[in-house]
Chains A and B, each alone.
Chain A
Amino acid sequence: MRRIITATVQNSSGVLNRITGMLSKRAFNIESITVGTTEIEGISKMTFVVEIPDANKIEQLTKQLNKQIDVLKVNDITEKAIVQRELALIKVGSTSASRAEIQGVIEPFRARVLDVSRDSLVIEVTGKPDKIEALIDLLHPYGIKDMTRTGVTAFPRGKQPRQVQEFTLSV
């Protein structure tokens, strides 16, 4: 099961190390982590995407996260109505002849060109991970020279549908 989990943490030194260390020690497979500050000084928020085999393990993950002294709040938002975004920068090979074609490919994805050189383009795209995957697929034939992705950052939408199947902990 792919879960999206957010953790609000105190911005003390080593907190990221502490949390990723705990996850790796307990054999949780982290797909991505994003971290950034929040509107409150000294408080950061992390978004994890984690691949977990079963429900028990999800509960264990959230409990172990909660147990960390620096962690203020943990939320498994996988089942909620959420906004999730990832940013990717993709450097793709191009010639003057293919440039316009690539432009046409990326346009429906609302991606944009950040840099142009004689033989490459740098493209910026944000969106859900599957949208980014789709664009990468389309760009492959042109030759991807470099790529970097931020991983997912996410939080619940302002309004939740009434019938949200929330993941409930037994404790």
Chain B
Amino acid sequence: MKTQTETHTQPVEQKLRTGADLFVQSLVEEKVDTVFGYPGGAVLPIYDALYRADAPFQHILCRHEQGLIHAAEGYARVTGKPGVVIATSGPGATNLITGITDAMMDSLPVVVFTGQVSTAVIGSDAFQEADVIGLTTPITKHNYQVTDIKDLPRITREAFHIATTGRPGPVVVDIPKNIAQEITDKTFDTSFHLPGYQPTVKPNPLQIRRLAEALAKAKKPVLLAGAGVHFADASEELKAFAEKFELPVTTTLLGLGSFPGGHEQALGMAGMHGSYSANMAIYEADLLINIGARFDDRLTGAIQHFAPEAAVAHIDIDPAEIGKNIETKIPVVGDAKEALTALLDIDIECTDHSSWSEETMNNKKEYPFWFERSDDLISPQWLIESVHRETDGHAIVTTDVGQHQMWAAQFYQFNSPHKWVTSGGLGTMGFGLPAAIGAQLGRPEETVVAIVGDGGFQMTMQEMAVVKQHNLPIKVIIVNNEALGMVRQWQEKFYEERYSASLMTENPDFIKLAEGFGVKGIRVSKETDVPSVIKEVFQHDGPVLVDARVQKLDKVFPMVAPGKGNHEMIGVKQCEE
């Protein structure tokens, strides 16, 4: 069949172009400013096209493909723009798998281009061949293999469209080498039609009306804000909504910063290591309005005890999230910003719930996050508080996964959106450093702090080379307790102190390591030294790596033990004042 997409209006002088040239052109048309890539055999035509083209975007060579994809995620998280990745076939592609899954779990717009062996040898177990479509189908929002050069420009556009609209997510485009090499003198139609993909952005007015009616009647309403608020850029609306109806606001881990942490109505993060006041508010609420959170099990705890008294309203752009984990009485399918705007436009006379607000605020005052200071060893929580003080809560903070991540969530108060970059759904170690690289490249004017553990840092520490190469002024703070701290915490609490393979007693000398990368390294091991060191770190005009030796056995509290309800938190302390 003759394709109808070919146009015949090419000027005669049009140069012959390769598929790779078309691809680079597509990136330019998508206004890409940063590409995270790693060359290899199958993408050599693309790299050659990049070399020849005067492309208006920078190319960042991370040192491992896992670094590429986490950097792209960090970039996407703080800019709202898609993170773009290029990797080669086979091992290049498989090294991305963790990050693609991470982007899927946390709904990050990432567009991944993988090289593939030539179409003639696909399926023959050729050198560096891997079934990228098979591998990435369960972990992508969508994926494509380009089998005809005429489809390449259109597929690229579709990939960007799908990754960034509706509920964002990763899209993979697999480009066989011969397609990238193929020469054409044609221009191909890039218009697309995706009848099966029409996300509902504007919520149904009836659903909004039902929510408003429920809110008017509620005696104990609570808002729960998730990452969807960030994606919809709905922080302003969220604040206006919460203030208008005097609603206590809790957030998920990824929702931190969507509502100002210092706001008087903020109860902070809910869930396994959330605040007592947030968890109790949800436990006692009669109306829980979830905006863009997916009711992850780390948030809900045992679901039979999650918001047991509440009618649950759930605003989400992905209808499949509504009712998936928690029975939902009032579903609202749509974008958070649109939904909140619509809710703000409705006149609602609320039942007086001032005593409820007072009760939740009292809990917040009486049961804050706590830790014990020591005069000698560094308390990790205080270390993070010090970083918060020094940066006035305005830094972009990236983390790995584990104790330091939870302490950062608890003790770094996020007052504005798009500042908190962490691997929530997948819980990926090694995320923090490369994510910081992506975040710093995306927001060069901001202060970026990577708070990492000694375990996670060692998974992707080779990316320090990128920090140095681009002189990114990232402050890497290793919360070093010589252990996989969260693993050890669980072994202590739930496995009778059998510390199986969780102690990292043979860590490298991180200072020498930093110096090896050409980065300033500072070790701090005494509590009293922390303020001056932190000051020095943020005054230094360039990257710094801090090896902070913290108290080894500190635990993240409060905590909901696995299988327990959020109202059964352990490690809650009443304020002594």
Contact = CB atoms under 8 A, between A and B. Distances in A.
A60 B319 contact: no
A14 B137 CA distance: 9
Contacts of B137: 14, 17-18, 21
Nearest to B200: A171
B196 A171 contact: no
A72 B322 CA distance: 20
A71 B319 CA distance: 15
A171 B322 contact: yes
B328 A170 contact: yes
A69 to B, nearest CB: 5
Contacts of B319: 63, 66-67, 171
A22 interface: yes
A68 interface: yes
Interface in A20-67: 21-22, 25, 56, 59-60, 63-64, 66-67
A124 interface: no
B19 to A, nearest CB: 18
A68 to B, nearest CB: 7
A70 interface: yes
Interface string B115-155: 00000000000000000011001100110010100000000
Contacts of B327: 56
Contacts of A64: 320
Interface residues of A, number: 23
8 contacts: A14-B145, A22-B138, A25-B138, A63-B320, A63-B322, A63-B324, A69-B141, A170-B328
Nearest to A9: B196
Interface string B316-333: 001110111001100101
B194 interface: yes
A165 to B, nearest CB: 20
A156 B324 CA distance: 28
Contact of A56 (B134, B195, B320, B323): B323
Contacts of B318: 67
A71 B320 CA distance: 14
A13 interface: yes
B104 to A, nearest CB: 11
A68 B319 CA distance: 12
A171 B134 contact: no
Contacts of A22: 138
Contact of B320 (A21, A60, A72): A60
Contacts of B108: none
Interface of A: 9-10, 13-14, 17-18, 21-22, 25, 56, 59-60, 63-64, 66-72, 170-171
Most buried by A among B318, B324, B327: B324
Given A63-B320, A63-B322, A66-B319, 18 more contacts: A10-B195, A13-B145, A17-B134, A18-B137, A21-B137, A25-B138, A56-B323, A56-B327, A60-B320, A63-B319, A63-B324, A67-B318, A69-B142, A69-B196, A71-B196, A72-B195, A171-B319, A171-B331
A129 B127 CA distance: 47
Size category of the binding interface on chain B: 20 to 34
Contacts of B147: 13
A79 to B, nearest CB: 19
A63 B137 CA distance: 18
A103 B327 CA distance: 55
In order of increasing CB-CB distance, the 7 nearest A-B pairs are A63-B320, A171-B331, A69-B142, A69-B197, A72-B196, A171-B319, A67-B320
B490 to A, nearest CB: 26
Contacts of B145: 13-14
A137 to B, nearest CB: 39
Contact of A21 (B138, B142, B162): B138
A66 B318 CA distance: 11
B307 to A, nearest CB: 17
Interface string B286-330: 000000000000000000000000000000001110111001100
A120 B318 CA distance: 55
A67 B134 CA distance: 18
A22 B194 CA distance: 20
Contacts of B141: 69
Contacts of B331: 170-171
A66 B196 CA distance: 8
A39 to B, nearest CB: 16
A65 B153 CA distance: 27
A171 B320 CA distance: 9
A60 B325 CA distance: 10
A60 B323 contact: yes
A22 B140 CA distance: 11
A66 B320 contact: yes
A22 B137 CA distance: 8
A18 B318 CA distance: 18
B320 A10 contact: no
Contacts of B133: 14, 17
A69 B162 contact: yes
Interface in B179-198: 194-197
